[in-house]
Amino acid sequence: MRERRERGARACYGRGRPDVYMNAGSSQTLTRLVTRGEDPPDGYRAAVARSASLGRNSIADAVGLPDAPRLLASTPGGAGMSFFELDCFRRNVGVTKPVRENAFLIALQLRTCPDFDLYADGRLIQPRQFDAGAVAIFDLRTNLASDLRDPFHAIDLYLPTRALDTISDDLGVARVDELRHSPGTAVRDATIGELLLAMRPALAAPAEQTSALFVDHVAHAIATHVAHRYGGLLLPPVANRGGLSPSQARRAKELLSAKLSGGILLTDLATACNLSVRQFTRAFRQTTGMAPHRWLLQRRIEKAQDLLARSTRSLAQVAADCGFADQSHFTRVFTRAIGITPGHWRRIRHT
């Protein structure tokens, strides 16, 4: 059954089609022609298997991509936010089945898709400005359906209204009822674009290489930005109390160090410090100079360096002790952070 479904998802990889994508290090849109027709990207099959284990994805089902890679977020309040990537190179997919859910879809277009129709409660909406790098907001409360004629590729955040409610309640301000947007018109939003693009490697990676803390952090950041910019959420001023107290900082670092694999949630850290998620992330950054997931990555690298310098453990053992999925994952992350491989770093230290 899984093999059949994987073949169906893989069928959306066409041949010789242009792939348009954005550079994660810049808000500039880059265009590159990629000859498709080879196997799906590294990690795709693992991501498909992981997505299947998470249950049904109504949006992916509606467009004929039931196995689209997906990651669930756990904050705020376990409100059902999720990321997924929809990539189909087939033309004339046709009319999708309508989706009506109490949620919004925030979609970053990775390729230009000018030829499709949108229907909200049966009313035709002509899409505009669906260029690569543009961001679209879809109100899923309107029984949304599409007539898809062009290939499409997007990274999406499924944003339930209860997630927006949780953010408002957490801040003690009025709830967001609507998002100000022109239905069917995509816009330029560099903040959403870069945050969604940052999720692309995580969506393609095996589950054990994906930090739940990172997924939570990005989901909460996008949801708060959307609520503020498009929902009129009034963010109360944050009192400058010098970041976390010494006991809060110690507790947060202890929890992070005990879960070097990243298997801890922002809500857990915030609760341990008796703060809201927003208060905690701001205070933690003020105290340490970095976001929690960045601090965790640095701690993993520091521990790995200590083990490499002071022990004779193999690289595979060091990787396991420091919360990496395997030696290959450890080598990639270490090399990206330090500039040389773990083995080379160890040899230099021991000369």
Question: By percentage, how much of the chain surpasses pLDDT 90?
Answer: 44
Same domain (yes/no): 344, 244: no
Model confidence pTM above 0.75? no
Considering the domain architecture, whether residues 247 and 194 belong to the same structural domain is answered as no
* Predicted confidence band of residue 239 (pLDDT cuts 50, 70, 90): low
Q: State the total domains in the chain.
A: 3
Instruction: Let me know whether 195 and 83 are in one domain.
Output: yes
Of 10-24, 282-296, 303-317, minimum mean pLDDT range = 10-24
Q: Is the same domain home to 91 and 23?
A: yes
* Same domain for 246 and 187: no
Q: Are residues 25 and 151 in the same domain?
A: yes
Q: Are residues 164 and 242 in the same domain?
A: no
Which of 289, 306, 327 is at the close of a domain?
A: 289
**pLDDT digits 0-9 by tens, 252-263:** 999 998 888 777
Outline where the chain has alpha helix (H): 2-10, 44-53, 58-62, 161-171, 190-198, 200-204, 212-229, 246-258, 266-272, 277-288, 292-310, 315-321, 327-338, 342-349
Domain match, 221 and 201 both: yes
Place of tokens 């933690």: 284
Task: Using the 3D structure, point to which of 204, 228, 252 is the last residue of a domain.
Answer: 228
Q: What is the pLDDT of residues 59-100, one digit of tens each?
A: 999 988 988 999 998 755 556 899 999 999 888 888 999 999
Tell me the Cα Rg of the chain. Answer: 21
CA distances 222 to 58, 100, 218, 226, 319, Å, are: 21, 22, 6, 6, 31
**What's the pLDDT score for residue 75?**
58
20 forms beta bridges with 31
For 20, the token pair is 């348009």
Instruction: Say what the pLDDT of residue 241 is.
Output: 59
Model confidence pLDDT, tens digit, residues 9-54 = 333 533 333 333 333 333 333 323 222 333 444 444 444 444 444 5
pLDDT at 238: 56
Q: What's the pLDDT score for residue 265?
A: 83
Can you give the residue range of the structural domain that contains 342?
A: 295-349
In terms of C-beta density within 10 A (0-12 exposed, 13-18 middle, 19 or more buried), how is residue 26 classed? exposed
Within this chain, do residues 187 and 316 fall inside the same structural domain, yes or no?
no
